[in-house]
Structure 1
Amino acid sequence: MDGMGKVDFTITTNSKDAQAFFNQGVAQLYGFWFVEAERSFRHTATLDPNAAMAYWGIAMAAPGTFLPAYQILLTPNPGPPVTPPNSPESRARAAIVKAQALRDSITPRERLYIEAVAAHHNPALRDQDAAYIAAMRRLVELFPDDLEAKAILALALENGYDAPAKSPKAGTGESLKLLRQVLAKDPNHAGANHFLIHALEGSKNLRDALPLANRYAALAPNIPHVLHMPGHVYAQIGMFDEAVKAFLAAAAKEREYMSADPRYSKLSYVHNEILLLHALGSQGRYRDAMLRIADLMSAKEIPADRETTEFFYRVGWFALMKTLVRFEKWDEILDGKTLPFYNQPSESLWYYWARGLAFASTSNAAGARNSLETMEQLIRSLKRVINPIPQQFQIAHSELAGYIDVSTGNVNQGLAELNRSAMSESLLPYTDPTVYPRPVLELLGKTALKARDFRTAESAYRRALENEPGSGRALWGLAKALEGLGKKEDAAKMLKEFRRVWSGDELR
């Protein structure tokens, strides 16, 4: 396949075609295109059944867990002790058995790769991740010029950053060092460019990833996630036009593959839409966002889909709720039609949170309190199933309670509660976009503006801009806070920047 990216990962085989398909599989693995990577590795094994590294590739690709370590922690997927036939884990383990059976016919370097993936899927080991990392470290130590080994090890060490200080967790510094070593030798390395973007996400130094974002899509232009990935960087540093272009390009490529193969996985498409809708919202493009949300929610729902977090309708519903709240469409939230009730635990909580905010914003204190009480009941019910419950629901309850206080005249008490909610939100683990629908700091800033507490508003909006550079809402709010403080020149600068990024209706 064209446009997969250039990889030169020499293995023991007498077949040029097997080597070519293996390289393609590695390139697809590096692009997190796991189904296609597994297909390429399986074709490698068909061309040369004695190519042990083909089975290594199958074991690396099949589980779909070749991801940054911090993402694995957010979505744990341990292999069960007994795996059902043809499950991703069973395919990985079967491939490892085949690879190990061929160990006498391959190089010491290849044996180390196979030992590493075998450790990663050994149910007898207490800490498979640590065993995998130890094996990969041994490989890097013995073969220090192996750029693939360094890149693969680095990905496993990407443990992210502590919130809210954004200080690197153990392993992250080593990962950054390894990836920079790879790129110093090969600036266009398909894996290292991708992995370094992920390694810098959530850090204070994300702008360092801009050169990577600018070149990465061209390295493998037919892998959808490769087209998508630069958008992460652009969106998080306030380059929303560029982010939207990246996400639209990825969406078009995903649709191309979905049209060609009805069995094609839609997970990457859904993830891309989530990021695209967030970027459109950040630009103020309400109508464009609502059109794409309607497209997602037009998908026919079957009962099994309701249990799948990546289902089109479910993703569309959350994006709808988030968009209506961020654009303060209170009448639409309360009309009983625009935002339909979704009878799932998480969605039910967000539904009443959104309605509570809408009631409080339209001077209906009784409706807001009823929504808050319903949230409390739902939280109690959820605790019987999940304890502790996800922190974002406690934050949502606290935010709504604080906003009700402000809207009913208890301004100081409400602002203090909103500030506590914002601090709790800052401690949530890094995700892109954040799991929280709207930054609490936006509401804190706006309520402080309304109360003419301009210093609190300025502080809130400056903190919001630290978390989301280029946020039109935060820029607008900061401009208004600075006006209130008599800092007219600074306010004018903020308004100018606001108009650069904002494409929607004027805020109020």
Structure 2
Amino acid sequence: MISRPRSLLLFIVFILPFHGCRSSDQNGAQQQPAPAMHHPVVVSPLTPSSAARLMDGIGKVDFAITTNSKEAQAFFNQGVAQLYGFWFVEAEQSFRQAAKLDPGAAMAYWGIAMAAPGTFLPMYQLVLAPNPGLTIVAPPNSPESRARDAIVEAQALRDPVTPRERLYIEAVAARHNPQLRDPDAAYIAVMRRLVESFPDDLQAKSILALALENGYSAPAKSPKEGTGESLKLLRQVLAKDPNHVGASHFLIHALEGSKELSNALPIANRYAALAPNIPHVLHMPGHVYAQIGMFDEAVKSFLAAAAKEREYMSSDPRYSKLSYVHNEILLLHVLGSQGRYRDAMSRIADLMRAKENPADRETAEFFYRVGWFALMKTLVRFEKWDEILDGKTLPFYNQPSESLWYHWARGLAYASTSNAAGAQNSLQLMEQLIRSLERIVNPIPQQFLIARSELQAYIDASTGNVKKGLDGLNRSAMSESLLPYTDPTVYPRPVLELVGKTALKARDFRAAESAYRRALENEPGSGRALWGLAKAFEGLEKKQDAEKMLKEFRRVWRGEELK
């Protein structure tokens, strides 16, 4: 069971390969990197001041609570729908409005406690942090403090409510009890009691299922403890209510990182229509489409989510831009997978010159930083070696992680253009940065060590020691396969692509075929893997197989011919 995540860490996003915050004065001072997670969790640092209003298009929820106010019930249902869409600020506002309309509605305070800290997420997405124990005091008016205050209110009002509601309150109280050794385990235990006592409660089953989603092991992609139980619960809910807005969302997350993500396709196809005014709901199907090679559909999903985010950003200057930026990361990844270099570079340029919300600037996912990483990744994946080395297209970024990726990209560029001395110098600069990072963070992120070993192996191969180089590249690829699941992966380019290309150059067509097959298995629909397989089959004189791969390559690829 995981340890309890601290709510103040939940502003950070696990898409950049390593995180620190650029200082607000942009003076280049290095800061210690922060923990991170899969996608942005936007919570209000202070009690939301805006009053909620009833909205259309946020999903239908029927969650009866003890209240005499129909309006309070309506706002409570809306809050649950927004909670199910990970729209935490808006959910907290709705629950607060329900409490204002009926101050005696205990479950309205339950909702505040569920929404305020932004911890209503799959288990595998939560930031791991040790429980600080009895001495921790949440800062006044912070997300965690608001959750605890709401729990006190809910517990004080629980006498008139139903036994079912009392269990909901008991569960959230356990999750925010600093005296417990493992609050999440206690939360899950109470939710299990709730489901056992009220087996027809679809909300309880959905909420429990989300807490149990523990992901899949790498590289086998076998379900971890809790994931199988989560899937069973969600399928029970969807069998009774195929349009359950919570279970639909949570099933997509439950299948992410598995070998069976295509099983989420029917849900992905209808999920956006269930709550079209919640941006994350529009965004989520794109995860499924992108990972099973349906790139056109993924682009449509991400563009729809971006348009909805811009709608809210333009109407409220306080509206966080973090979810918009996260959506751009996924969109840029898919554009790169399709070969759409110019489209990707245009959106990257927009990101890097955008103005950030001052609060968002202090996160790991502000516009310029995300744009810089996407720029580096795009230049490497499209093998734009001259641009990487021209000193202008990829500017130096004076932060630990970006500096390391900068020298990695330049090292690959030097090695690819037969400049062994330049490549070796880049490798030495990477090693110096890694030694510096080891003094401020422990353990150092694995992707940095993989990048170092990949560059070393590529230098070996490009300077004539092909066998040693391929052996090293394959070891790097194996290490990459053990990285925790994220979408997109934290590593800028699959090492297997370089294994395949190096093997092709050495005319080791069987090794190239093996590498590109694995790359295609990891990234279905990958144009680069399809192209590589076609070239490997040509070398092996498998003409029909080569033609088949080239046909599929031309179906998915929208860019210039690969070389």
* TM-score w.r.t. length of structure 1: 0.98
Judge conservation of contact 1:216–1:230 (CA < 8 Å) in 2. yes
Q: Of residues 511, 518, 521 in structure 2, which corresponds to 1:466? A: 521
Q: Of residues 360, 374, 377 in structure 2, which corresponds to 1:319? A: 374
Q: Of residues 417, 424, 441 in structure 2, which corresponds to 1:369? A: 424
One-letter amino acid matched to 1:112? L
- Matched with 1:423 is 478
- Matched with 2:246 is 191
Q: Of residues 311, 326, 332 in structure 2, which corresponds to 1:271? A: 326
Partner Cα separation in structure 2 for residue 213 and residue 288 of structure 1: 25
- 1:13 corresponds to 2:67: yes
One-letter amino acid matched to 1:208? N
Partner Cα separation in structure 2 for residue 350 and residue 265 of structure 1: 28
- 1:293 corresponds to 2:348: yes
- Matched with 1:280 is 335
Judge conservation of contact 2:131–2:178 (CA < 8 Å) in 1. no
One-letter amino acid matched to 1:58? I
Shift, 1:82, TM fit: 1.2
- 1:154 corresponds to 2:196: no
- 1:27 corresponds to 2:88: no
One-letter amino acid matched to 2:221? K
- Matched with 1:70 is 124
Higher RCO, 1 vs 2 (CA within 8 Å, ≥6 residues apart)? 2
One-letter amino acid matched to 1:6? K
Q: Deviations over 1:118-169 (max 9, x none)?
A: 0000010110110000010010010000000000000000000000000100
Partner Cα separation in structure 1 for residue 56 and residue 83 of structure 2: 15
Judge conservation of contact 1:35–1:62 (CA < 8 Å) in 2. yes
Judge conservation of contact 1:306–1:314 (CA < 8 Å) in 2. no
SS in 2 for 1:376: helix
Partner Cα separation in structure 2 for residue 434 and residue 398 of structure 1: 18
Judge conservation of contact 1:365–1:408 (CA < 8 Å) in 2. yes
Partner Cα separation in structure 2 for residue 149 and residue 174 of structure 1: 14
One-letter amino acid matched to 1:355? R
| Percentage of pairs with the same residue | 87
Greater share of residues in helix: 1
Alignment RMSD, CA only?
1.5
Judge conservation of contact 1:221–1:227 (CA < 8 Å) in 2. yes
- Matched with 2:33 is none
Judge conservation of contact 1:363–1:407 (CA < 8 Å) in 2. yes
Partner Cα separation in structure 1 for residue 132 and residue 207 of structure 2: 20
* TM-score w.r.t. length of structure 2: 0.89
- Matched with 1:445 is 500
- Matched with 2:112 is 58
- Matched with 2:310 is 255
Shift, 1:308, TM fit: 2.1
> What are the within-5 Å matches in structure 2 for residues 63-212 of structure 1?
63-73=117-127, 81-212=136-267
- Matched with 1:345 is 400
Partner Cα separation in structure 2 for residue 373 and residue 315 of structure 1: 26
- 1:49 corresponds to 2:106: no
Judge conservation of contact 2:113–2:172 (CA < 8 Å) in 1. yes
5+ unaligned residues in a row in structure 2: which ranges?
1-54
Judge conservation of contact 2:80–2:111 (CA < 8 Å) in 1. yes
Judge conservation of contact 1:29–1:61 (CA < 8 Å) in 2. yes
- Matched with 1:480 is 535
5+ unaligned residues in a row in structure 1: which ranges?
none
SS in 1 for 2:126: helix
One-letter amino acid matched to 2:336? G
> What are the within-5 Å matches in structure 2 for residues 223-262 of structure 1?
223-262=278-317
SS in 2 for 1:145: coil
One-letter amino acid matched to 1:63? P
Partner Cα separation in structure 2 for residue 301 and residue 216 of structure 1: 30
Judge conservation of contact 2:320–2:360 (CA < 8 Å) in 1. no
Judge conservation of contact 1:13–1:48 (CA < 8 Å) in 2. yes
Partner Cα separation in structure 2 for residue 78 and residue 35 of structure 1: 26
Judge conservation of contact 2:172–2:187 (CA < 8 Å) in 1. yes
Partner Cα separation in structure 2 for residue 119 and residue 76 of structure 1: 16
SS in 2 for 1:492: helix
One-letter amino acid matched to 2:174? A
Judge conservation of contact 1:352–1:375 (CA < 8 Å) in 2. yes
Partner Cα separation in structure 2 for residue 73 and residue 451 of structure 1: 43
Q: Of residues 54, 57, 70 in structure 2, which corresponds to 1:3? A: 57
Summarize the Cα distance change of 1:155–1:77 in structure 2 as closer, same or farther, 3 Å threshold: farther
One-letter amino acid matched to 1:349? L
Partner Cα separation in structure 1 for residue 195 and residue 357 of structure 2: 48
SS in 2 for 1:452: coil
Shift, 1:302, TM fit: 9.8
SS in 2 for 1:177: helix
Summarize the Cα distance change of 1:45–1:306 in structure 2 as closer, same or farther, 3 Å threshold: closer
Q: Deviations over 1:291-310 (max 9, x none)?
A: 11111100347998775211
- Matched with 1:215 is 270
Summarize the Cα distance change of 1:78–1:17 in structure 2 as closer, same or farther, 3 Å threshold: farther
